[in-house]
Amino acid sequence: MKKAIGVFDSGVGGLTVTRELIAQLPNEDIVYFGDTARVPYGIKSKETVIRFTIENILFLLKQNVKLICVACNTASSCALPVLKKNFRVPLVGVISPGAREAVYATRNKRIGVIGTKGTIKSRTYETEIRQLDPEIKITAVACPLFVPLVEEGWLEGGVVEEVARRYLEPLKKAKVDTLILGCTHYPLLKPIIRRIMGKEVTLIDSAKQVAIEVKKILDQEGLLNKNGRPQHRFYVSDNPEWFSGLAKRFLGRPVKNIKKVNNV
């Protein structure tokens, strides 16, 4: 039995990463777990996020996975540095790939980061960026209302525009030329963010970079599937109907046969 790529997120946002994995690795089986019973992670303590992340990894390991993609920015920033020392399975987060791409893209050495309160408070993006280039100036802003707006399907309109303008104002003042979308929900707001920030600002969606990194690791380890009919399985810890309703928006196609699991 061939092994799958495991992906987990606190909810549906990680489906933007899954979408890229499917596009770039079309022969791979994927097992996705959304911890919908405990979403959101962005407001939880670091200790709680680490505990949830360990439980999610253990669940995916039971599903015969060969690599795990931590598609949650909060879990990547809070838990990944600790957990990489304790698990033998390759773990890929969303922070490092996005930070590397931003450092590569910036021309004026001014990078902006937007994310949940947990991600911004952890300062993990800043640490990663400064390790690559200590001269870069970073402006980080928490945007807690973006996630509920996306999940309500409010991607355009006056309310969204007003919220986005308020959040993005410090980044415009800082004259950033590169902006990291540090939450897997935010790519769905790209049109409005691009309109407010201006076309000259490069938006970094780490989902694409994550898929590239996963492909590279699997290739190096000799674990790439060259052919076959891929299976994509979806699990949630609560409310599969809610997940199903949002999944199409994030994944770009309907998701069926979502299984609810208890006691992750």
Which are the catalytic amino acids?
A: 72, 183
Q: Which residue has the tokens 């309907």?
A: 254
223: tokens are 């674990």
Among 102, 140, 133, 97, smallest CA distance to 118 is for: 140
- For 135, counting Cβ atoms within 10 Å of its Cβ (0-12 exposed, 13-18 middle, 19+ buried), the class is exposed
184: tokens are 């897997």
Q: What is the sign, positive or negative, of the torsion defined by CA atoms of 38, 182, 130, 167? A: negative
Task: State the first-to-last Cα distance of the chain, in angstroms, to the nearest integer.
Answer: 24
Beta bridge mates, 139: 112
Which residue type is seen at 65? Answer: V
Residues 6 or more apart whose Cβ sits within 8 Å of residue 229: none
List Cα–Cα distances, 222 to 24, 216, 219, 225, in angstroms.
17, 10, 5, 9
Beta bridge mates, 234: 32
Local structure of 3: helix, strand or coil: coil
